[in-house]
Structure 1
Amino acid sequence: MHIEAFQEQLIQGHAGSRVRSAEYASRFGRWDTLASVRRRPRRDFAGGEGGLYFPPELYPVVLHPLVTARGADVVEGLLLRRLYDYLHFTTELENLAVIPVAVKISQGRSGLVLPEPMRADAYKIVTDEAWHAQFSYDFACQISAETGVAGPHSAQAAPPAFLARLDELRERLPHEIRGVESLLFAVVSETLISSILSDIPRDERLYRPVREVVRDHAEDEGRHHVYFRSVLRHLWPALTPRERQAVGPLVPVAIHAFLEPDYLRTAHHLRGAGLSTDEIGQVVAESWPPQSVRQSIARAAAQLTHYLTEAGALEDARTLASFEESGLLLTERRSTTGAAGS
């Protein structure tokens, strides 16, 4: 079993037969002096200084009248739960989605023939991501000890929504190309997360240690963003036409798996705050109207959509149609894509 796991590739088939590129410019030359695991201290949560646990605008249920009417303590409790969810999401994303892919790349078992410096840098990404998982877990434990509110990392904790969504994506792929979704999701998550984290460290309403933890994460993810953009540039040309036709239309599924709110988790928190089933349905529906969610996801994914366009992913008619149906093509990008394909 263990030898089989060692030998397993993310993309099946003979890697040497695939199109390859020698292009790669490393951003990890100064990793020893820049990586948060090398230069940042353990962040200690100290309550009592005043602040918010999470930006309310990024968790709009706490701004809904049915929630605010229940008082400031309920709002604060929900923001704490949202911070816990972010920390738990980070831990599980790194452990279950990014580190396994980076390990395979470092072993030369991605299914692609990648430049040797990319393998070396993948080892550094594994170290970075393990540190992100560790300090997210540790920080949640500190907050739990300070507040007396149980943290998110118990053995009974519900898995983040992206895991079930990723399983659904895998089931939609032909059996012989399953595995590519792991590499694709790593590209999606690592090129999107840096923009998600960018504003939180500057939000002075938040507890200072919260801002510092997110800043440490964001600085590393900036380098990871560039790395996985390069992975995409190697990945897409290396796929066979059949693989591109199977995978391309499912890229929007991977993007939504990462960016769409975790509605079930939020409903659980609202129920814990004392809202009825009807009230929960109303709060969730009015806080995240479907069209607003689609537009927000499209804006957040715009840079990745551009990278995919550059790589040629949207040249396939079914893939382009899937992006259009998912609302991922903003108006200005839709006209550019249409012109390129005409």
Structure 2
Amino acid sequence: MTAPIVAPIDPPVSRALRFTLGDWNNRASVRTSEHDYLLPPDLEQQLETRHWFPPGFLAYLNHPAIEALGQTVTHRLSSNHLVYFLDYTTLLEHRIVNRSVETIIHGELKVHIPSRMKTAALQLYTDEGYHALFSNSLAEQIARFYGISLRPVMPHRITRLNTLLDHAPETHRALAWFLVGFVSETIIAKELLDVCRDNLVSSVRAMLRDHLADEARHSRYFSEVFHYLWLTLNNRQRMFAARLLLDIIRIFFEADERWLRESLYSAGIGETTLTEILGGLTTPQATLQRTRSGADATLQALKKAGFFDLSYNQQLFMKAGLIDG
């Protein structure tokens, strides 16, 4: 039987929880970046030694049938992935993250919102609009360069998140929106950090580094707000949040089979190779491995907030294979 949960209605603001984005006026990319994110004039030369997207994130590029097709096909598949990622980012920032931020700004969470928390939320909202803008701009350029016409597509992840949110009980709907934003922002910061380590086309690297600089602050902010909010939740809200968080985290690491099939097919990849690649990416073991690796920052934020101090939450995530005993 789960031990009763006692939570204060309106916890005081801890000195450790600052709820700010730091020196936002002088650090946010929307305020300070000098990059134009235009494809470089020496693009063809850069592609001799650089990538559109890190090959380490696209394990299927190592398939013998794809390697045999040479660098031109590898670059095309990488550009397909980058355009998909940028289109997804545009949708995520506008339709998911900023909707999540609105729950903080407009008091939908039904808790006291400190003024610093609200100000930072408005700043973060502005950042995400700019991220959508430069993601769309770069995606348009790459799509024109390669003649990519099958876009924008509705990413599997966005569809799954929307379905999850649509089925959330009305009494918990605002909390559900916030939790999706929390997971998204803590995951993307680590993802961008890993991506930026690769030797990428200069304009892609500049855009991703500007995005990363913002998202690192966003991740800390959402982690602090989650910690603050977690202290206000009652038993039913915490039980709902625990189960929903597990579902959200899983969704972020599911493979988009439909899109990947279309991307590979557009590059002339045969059905046998398609089946082999998709089979390797969609097994429960492969999905769990991606989740454990990619959700580390989210899990650490949960731990810091005391989420795993409750035996129910700990057992739930251990059973799912996301944490060890």
Q: TM-score, normalised by structure 1?
A: 0.83
Alignment partner of 1:21 is 2:12 = yes
> What is the match of residue 217 of structure 1?
211
Alignment partner of 1:48 is 2:44 = yes
Superposed displacement of residue 104, structure 1: 3.2
Superposed displacement of residue 223, structure 1: 0.8
After superposing the two structures, state which structure 1 stretch, 121-130 or 171-180, moved more. Answer: 171-180
> What is the match of residue 182 of structure 1?
177
Superposed displacement of residue 172, structure 1: 5.6
CA distance in 1, matches of 2:62, 2:23: 43
> What is the match of residue 136 of structure 1?
135
Structure 2: stretches of 5+ with no match in the other structure: 1-7
C-alpha spacing 1:143/1:303, structure 2 compared with 1 (3 Å):
closer
Superposed displacement of residue 100, structure 1: 1.6
Which AA in structure 2 matches 1:164? T
> What is the match of residue 279 of structure 1?
273
CA distance in 2, matches of 1:287, 1:298: 15
CA distance in 1, matches of 2:159, 2:318: 24
Contact 2:186 2:223 in 1 (8 A): yes
Q: Equivalent of 2:158, from 155, 158, 163?
A: 163
> What is the match of residue 313 of structure 2?
319
The superposition leaves residues 2-60 of structure 1 with CA deviations (integer Å, 9 ceiling, x where unpaired) of: xxxxxxxxxxxxxxx93333233144341111110111122111222322111111011
The superposition leaves residues 226-284 of structure 1 with CA deviations (integer Å, 9 ceiling, x where unpaired) of: 10001111221222101211221231211122233322211121122233444312112
> What is the match of residue 72 of structure 1?
71
CA distance in 2, matches of 1:245, 1:110: 16
Q: Equivalent of 1:38, from 31, 34, 43?
A: 31
Contact 2:108 2:174 in 1 (8 A): no
Superposed displacement of residue 296, structure 1: 2.8
Superposed displacement of residue 79, structure 1: 0.5
CA distance in 1, matches of 2:130, 2:295: 26
C-alpha spacing 1:159/1:20, structure 2 compared with 1 (3 Å):
farther
Contact 2:52 2:75 in 1 (8 A): yes
> What is the match of residue 111 of structure 2?
112
The superposition leaves residues 67-115 of structure 1 with CA deviations (integer Å, 9 ceiling, x where unpaired) of: 2233332221110000001111111110011112223322333332121
CA distance in 1, matches of 2:166, 2:98: 22
Q: TM-score, normalised by structure 2?
A: 0.87
Higher relative contact order (CA 8 A, sep 6+): 2
Q: Equivalent of 1:231, from 211, 225, 229?
A: 225
CA distance in 1, matches of 2:100, 2:281: 34
After superposing the two structures, state which structure 1 stretch, 214-223 or 254-263, moved more. Answer: 254-263
After superposing the two structures, state which structure 1 stretch, 243-252 or 185-194, moved more. Answer: 243-252
Q: Equivalent of 1:197, from 192, 196, 201?
A: 192
Structure 1: stretches of 5+ with no match in the other structure: 1-16, 336-342
1:81-120 aligned within 5 A: 81-120=80-119
The superposition leaves residues 125-166 of structure 1 with CA deviations (integer Å, 9 ceiling, x where unpaired) of: 0110000000000111122333433373xxxx3212222221
Which AA in structure 1 matches 2:241? V
Contact 1:297 1:328 in 2 (8 A): yes
C-alpha spacing 1:180/1:325, structure 2 compared with 1 (3 Å):
same
After superposing the two structures, state which structure 1 stretch, 117-126 or 255-264, moved more. Answer: 255-264
Contact 2:253 2:291 in 1 (8 A): yes
> What is the match of residue 4 of structure 2?
none
Contact 2:60 2:277 in 1 (8 A): yes
Look up the SS of the partner of 2:44 in the other structure.
coil
Contact 2:281 2:287 in 1 (8 A): no
Which AA in structure 2 matches 1:285? G
CA distance in 2, matches of 1:217, 1:228: 16
Which AA in structure 1 matches 2:220? V
- Root-mean-square deviation (CA, aligned residues, Å) is 2.2
Which AA in structure 2 matches 1:25? R
Contact 1:26 1:117 in 2 (8 A): yes
Superposed displacement of residue 199, structure 1: 2.8
CA distance in 1, matches of 2:248, 2:184: 9
C-alpha spacing 1:317/1:173, structure 2 compared with 1 (3 Å):
farther
After superposing the two structures, state which structure 1 stretch, 128-137 or 142-151, moved more. Answer: 142-151
> What is the match of residue 298 of structure 2?
304
CA distance in 1, matches of 2:175, 2:90: 22
Contact 1:22 1:114 in 2 (8 A): no
Length, aligned pairs only: 310
Look up the SS of the partner of 1:202 in the other structure.
coil
